[in-house]
């Protein structure tokens, strides 16, 4: 019997996780929760997902829009084994009591604090610790992207110190309200940024400091990484290390992938759903050892990289698979990573 | 008698240097060189600058546009003591032989190689070495911005290692041909970038590595700096150090300057010509000592920060003033820095 998964919040992350879960052979979507009718709700219906809404008084609105609603979040939580909370940042915390009341396991996203779940998750770094847990938080897109490379490097060579500048996309492609259109915004101004401590929620012993800037783009975050390793290998060794990781994709400027825009176009041409890039995109030709320190660039698709992590977290928490590497391989194979 | 300055190339930098030179009491504009008639040539004429053109065959075009031309570059070079070469990058090198032939001193911009002039200039770091020289290169906007802070920090505390990520504006505000509109472009992909070695053309002993990314904005470059100092002072000491420097302006997010856009608006409100920011804009509230290392953000107005350096370079090379600090103070006072 397949594990029953509820999705609370069917936006940028929720709809992607829903499709990734539905594609697996050991889990299924019991229902998705949307506050208001929208094109996304309509497409969810066309895909065959049962739609639920947050409160009974919203049902009328869905009826008017000719979208069938099967009930409320409360109804859904009684039918599922686990809920993916993909509600907007800081809203998810408000649902903890409700999830507790229904005795349902829950996975929050990186917009919530570590303390809410008491456990932060990354498939490669700490799958084992997630087994059987009731609550987990899949860390943010940026943190997921950082943990993937830092975990690999720390395991192989030991990290003495990592210094990262995060150039963040300002808005998602469908967001028409957010700026800046033409500016660079140090955010936060106060340094170092919170991204380093967030990495430490998964890799507590890694010394990492971060600076972050919002940039006028909607396509991917870009990380400029400087890392002092305890053992310094050659550039080829780093390339081979990354090649072997399940969720790092090496690209090259000689292949004409020279920017976040071309990396996204590449994913579209590969036929990826919604043009998603689930892996870290690491520029192979940026990998450089200079004066004993490692430098490279990576791009992170903010809408997508946490999606396979959510699938693995479900598998660990519901004990569908006790081996992290096997869950990752299974998720990757089905998604086509 | 005022020193006679020729400007070869009346574009983004040339027109700004012309105005800054014209404002000084010890130098004057003998003429400016423009290849083709344009609104900029017309405004130069209105300002009273004598216009010259690169070749005799261009004169007809100017006549047709009702713009008076006084002759060619060759004619102008015979009348001036020094020429500011503000021609497009790599073009300036082609003029070296001509300048030599006319026995005129020349100042190139950062688009040219250090080797062309054999000497790279920054007002604060090496004014003394410029005295009496025939050739100099005022380093690029990014390098000028880096040298200003690194020189100050190295002199006061000693720099063990500086690691800088440069988020570059992709195009100038009047540039309608250049992208990207919506992407982040690591440039160069190969790390570290050439900006570090360019700093070393002025500060050879400072260990500095740089990574650079083009961003979808026209307003200022933004630098994220991480610096290991030999002696690590408190944050207040760094703030005071920067406060005392002649070309660093401290701003604060509590003053509602949170981005490059607001920093530029601030300059407009101050009544600066063309809204120019000649100083490094350093965010006071970003200055942070974390785990013994210094972090801060600074913004650099790519069209403007080298302008006062050109004025000082003229003064040093023509021996109008032998004391760098006095030249800087004079330039600043007249410009209103």
Cβ neighbours of residue B171 closer than 8 Å, sequence gap 6 or more: B177, B178, B179, B218
Distance set, CA A92 to CA A4, A107, B6 (Å) = 20, 10, 65
Measure in Å the smallest separation between the Cα of A283 and chain B Cα atoms. 8
Interatomic CA distance for residues A244 and A211, integer angstroms: 28
Cβ neighbours of residue B46 closer than 8 Å, sequence gap 6 or more: none
Query: Does residue B145 sit in the same domain as residue B133?
Result: no
* A226 contacts on B by Cβ (under 8 Å): 163, 209, 211, 226
Task: Say if CB A167 and CB A213 are below 8 A apart.
Answer: yes
**Which residue ranges of B are tagged as binding site for D-glyceraldehyde 3-phosphate?**
140-142, 195-196
Phi, psi of A19 (to 5 degrees): -65, -40
β-bridge pairing B280-283 and B288-290: unpaired
Mapped onto helix, strand or coil, the DSSP state of residue A75 is helix
Q: For the residues B71-86, what does the mean pLDDT come to?
A: 97
Query: Does residue B255 sit in the same domain as residue B157?
Result: yes
Record: contact A291-B218, CB cut-off 8 A? no
Number of neighbouring beta carbons within 10 Å of residue A112: 23
Phi, psi of B150 (to 5 degrees): -70, -40
Query: Does residue B225 sit in the same domain as residue B323?
Result: no
Record: contact B184-A213, CB cut-off 8 A? no
Q: What is residue A246's predicted lDDT score, i.e. its pLDDT? A: 98
Choose the closest CB to B213 out of A167, A185, A262.
A167
Query: Does residue B56 sit in the same domain as residue B134?
Result: yes
Interatomic CA distance for residues A291 and A310, integer angstroms: 39
Nearest in space to B228 (alpha carbons), one of B247, B200, B209: B209
Average pLDDT across chain B, whole number: 97
Nearest in space to A337 (alpha carbons), one of A274, A250, A277: A277
Interatomic CA distance for residues A82 and A4, integer angstroms: 7
Query: Does residue A280 sit in the same domain as residue A323?
Result: no
Measure in Å the smallest separation between the Cα of A219 and chain B Cα atoms. 6
pLDDT digits (tens, 9 = 90+) for B292-326: 999 999 999 999 999 999 999 999 999 999 999 99
Cβ neighbours of residue A14 closer than 8 Å, sequence gap 6 or more: A7, A8, A32, A84, A86
Task: Say if CB B167 and CB B224 are below 8 A apart.
Answer: yes
Task: List the single residue in B with minimal CA-CA distance to A188.
Answer: B286
Distance set, CA B55 to CA B77, B91, B261 (Å) = 13, 15, 40
Q: A48-83 burial, b for 16+ CB within 10 Å, e for fewer?
A: ebbbbbbeeebbeebeeeebebbbbbeebbebbbbb
Q: B175-188 burial, b for 16+ CB within 10 Å, e for fewer?
A: eeeeebebbbbbbb
Record: contact B290-A165, CB cut-off 8 A? no
Query: Which CATH number does the domain housing residue A59 bear?
Result: 3.40.50.720
* B285 contacts on A by Cβ (under 8 Å): 189-190
Record: contact B285-A220, CB cut-off 8 A? no
Query: Does residue B184 sit in the same domain as residue B290?
Result: yes
* B282 contacts on A by Cβ (under 8 Å): none
Using CA atoms of B15, B147, B219, B34 in order, give the dihedral in degrees to the nearest 10.
20
State how many domains chain B has: 2
Nearest in space to B7 (alpha carbons), one of B135, B151, B108, B115: B108
Residue B89 — pLDDT band, cuts 50, 70, 90?
confident
pLDDT digits (tens, 9 = 90+) for B174-188: 999 999 999 999 999
Query: Does residue A232 sit in the same domain as residue A327?
Result: no
pLDDT tens digits in sequence order for chain A, 337 residues long? 999 999 999 999 999 999 999 999 999 999 999 999 999 999 999 999 999 999 999 999 999 999 999 999 999 999 999 999 999 988 989 999 999 999 999 999 999 999 999 999 999 999 999 999 999 999 999 999 999 999 999 999 999 999 999 999 999 999 999 999 999 999 999 999 999 999 999 999 999 999 999 999 999 999 999 999 999 999 999 999 999 999 999 999 999 999 999 999 999 999 999 999 999 999 999 999 999 999 999 999 999 999 999 999 999 999 999 999 999 999 999 999 9
Record: contact B224-A216, CB cut-off 8 A? no
Record: contact A209-B290, CB cut-off 8 A? yes
Query: Does residue B129 sit in the same domain as residue B201?
Result: no
Interatomic CA distance for residues B270 and A185, integer angstroms: 21
Radius of gyration, CA atoms only, chain B = 20
Q: What crossing angle do the helices spanning B123-130 and B324-335 adopt, rounded to 10°?
A: 120
Query: DSSP string covering B14-78, please?
Result: HHHHHHHHHHSSSEEEEEEE-SS--HHHHHHHHTTPPEEESSGGGHHHHHHTT----EEHHHHHH
**Which residue ranges of A are tagged as binding site?**
12-13, 111, 140-142, 169, 195-196, 302
Q: What is residue A89's predicted lDDT score, i.e. its pLDDT? A: 85
Record: contact B184-A218, CB cut-off 8 A? no
**Domain boundaries, position B110:** 3-139+306-335
Q: What is residue A121's predicted lDDT score, i.e. its pLDDT? A: 98
Mapped onto helix, strand or coil, the DSSP state of residue A254 is helix
Residue tagged active-site, from B33, B69, B141, B222:
B141
Q: What is residue B90's predicted lDDT score, i.e. its pLDDT? A: 83
Task: Please give the positions of A annotated as active site.
Answer: 141
Q: What is residue A218's predicted lDDT score, i.e. its pLDDT? A: 97
Q: What is residue A111's predicted lDDT score, i.e. its pLDDT? A: 95
Query: Does residue A259 sit in the same domain as residue A146?
Result: yes
Query: Does residue B68 sit in the same domain as residue B148?
Result: no
Number of neighbouring beta carbons within 10 Å of residue A46: 8
Choose the closest CB to A259 out of B184, B259, B261.
B184
Choose the closest CB to B186 out of A163, A186, A297.
A297
Record: contact A286-B190, CB cut-off 8 A? yes
* B256 contacts on A by Cβ (under 8 Å): none
Query: Which CATH number does the domain housing residue A230 bear?
Result: 3.30.360.10
Measure in Å the smallest separation between the Cα of A328 and chain B Cα atoms. 29
Query: Does residue A150 sit in the same domain as residue A135?
Result: no
Task: List the single residue in B with minimal CA-CA distance to A226.
Answer: B163
Query: Does residue A117 sit in the same domain as residue A263?
Result: no
Cis peptide before B188 (omega within 30 of 0): yes
Among A172, A259, A264, the residue to mutate for chain B (most B Cβ within 10 A):
A259
Record: contact A224-B213, CB cut-off 8 A? yes
Choose the closest CB to A217 out of B183, B261, B299.
B183
Task: List the single residue in A with minimal CA-CA distance to B168.
Answer: A184
pLDDT digits (tens, 9 = 90+) for B236-286: 999 999 999 999 999 999 999 999 999 999 999 999 999 999 999 999 999
């Amino acid at each position: 019997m397949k594990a029953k998964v509820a999705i609370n919040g069917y936006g940028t992350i929720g709809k992607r996780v829903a499709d990734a879960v539905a594609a697996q052979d050991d889990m299924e979507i019991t229902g998705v929760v949307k506050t208001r009718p929208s094109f996304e709700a309509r497409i969810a219906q066309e895909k065959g997902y049962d739609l639920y809404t947050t409160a009974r008084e919203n049902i009328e609105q869905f009826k008017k829009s000719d979208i069938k609603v099967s009930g409320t979040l409360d109804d859904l939580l009684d039918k599922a084994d686990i809920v993916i909370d993909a509600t907007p940042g800081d809203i998810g915390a408000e649902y903890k009591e409700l999830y507790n009341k229904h005795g349902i396991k829950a996975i929050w996203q990186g917009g919530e604090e570590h303390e809410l779940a008491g456990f932060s998750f990354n498939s490669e770094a700490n799958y084992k610790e997630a087994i059987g847990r009731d609550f987990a938080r899949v860390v943010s897109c940026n943190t997921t992207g950082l943990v993937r490379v830092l975990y690999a490097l720390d395991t192989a060579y030991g990290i003495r110190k990592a210094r990262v500048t995060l150039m963040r996309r300002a808005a998602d492609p469908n967001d028409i309200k957010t700026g800046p259109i033409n500016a660079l915004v140090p955010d936060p101004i106060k340094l170092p940024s919170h991204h380093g401590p967030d990495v430490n929620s998964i890799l507590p012993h890694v010394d990492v400091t971060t600076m972050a800037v919002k940039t006028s783009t909607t396509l991917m975050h870009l990380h400029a990484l400087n890392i002092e390793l305890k053992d310094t290998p050659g550039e080829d060794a780093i390339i081979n290390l990354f090649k072997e990781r399940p969720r790092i994709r090496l690209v090259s400027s000689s292949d004409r992938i020279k920017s976040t825009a071309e990396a996204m176009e590449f994913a579209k041409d590969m036929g990826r759903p919604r043009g998603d890039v689930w892996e870290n995109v690491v520029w192979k030709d940026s990998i450089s050892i200079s004066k004993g320190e490692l430098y490279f660039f990576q791009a992170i698709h903010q809408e997508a990289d946490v999606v396979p992590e959510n699938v693995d977290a479900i598998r660990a928490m519901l004990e569908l698979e006790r081996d992290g590497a096997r869950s990752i391989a299974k998720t990757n194979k089905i998604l086509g990573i």
